[in-house]
Amino acid sequence: MTLSGEPAHRGLVVVAEDDASIADILRLYLVKAGYRVQVERDGAAALAAIRSLKPAAVVLDVGLPSMDGIEVCRRLRAEQNWTVLLFVTARDEEIDRVLGLELGADDYIVKPFSPREVVARVNSALRRAAGASSVSSSLTVGAVRLEPGARRVYVGDSEVSLTATEFDLLAFLMRSPGQVFDRDQLLSHVWGYSAGAGTRTVDVHIAQLRSKLGALSPVRTVRGVGYSAEAPH
């Protein structure tokens, strides 16, 4: 496929979608929002495009031919490629959502959807990845140190790779150590939208954070309320 010729200032988005009508409307709305767009119709081509073009974001259908979106995401994350990635799929089973998020997707949108919503989710995910924040100094809770400007996280002296969403979730909690936030608050402040996305999204990202940070993770569950960042006792 060729790149869209319209001028843009917000970077390139790869849209991997085998339904031509859906791909076309996503391309139109993303171009209107100021992005360049590369459309790919199958998973293998999408993976090659992401590797070579290094886009700002990927909108990835799960049910692609030749290689499904789950496998595309799995391979990218195994390569430590943390490009902002949003799954779009007709599959609405919770296990599919959880699997996508566990693999490191930044968001998950179920068909049918509004193309405006997809653009809004892309915008939100890229704002998180850009790390726009009034806090520039290091944040430390226990053994975990977070560098907002460099967007790096360390447990002791070891750096830990996080997705854009995982990083911003951890940063949000660490900016207010000891304060407990419920799931709706976290969706609003970190994802930028309401609980319509499903609070399970928060739980999966918290579980991923804990897995990556290990025994020294500062993320604490307050049963029946939500989550906070505190140094382990």
32-81 residue pLDDT tens: 999 999 999 999 999 999 999 999 999 999 889 999 999 999 999 889 89
Q: Confirm whether pTM is higher than 0.85.
A: no
Asked whether residue 1 is domain-assigned, the answer is no
Q: Can you give the residue range of the structural domain that contains 74?
A: 12-130
Closest CA relative to residue 163, chosen from 83, 97, 99 = 83
Closest CA relative to residue 3, chosen from 32, 27, 29 = 27
Asked whether residue 6 is domain-assigned, the answer is no
Question: How confident is the model over 175-199, as a mean pLDDT?
Answer: 79
Domain end, chosen from 102, 130, 158, is at: 130
Pairwise CA distance, residues 58 & 128, whole Å: 15
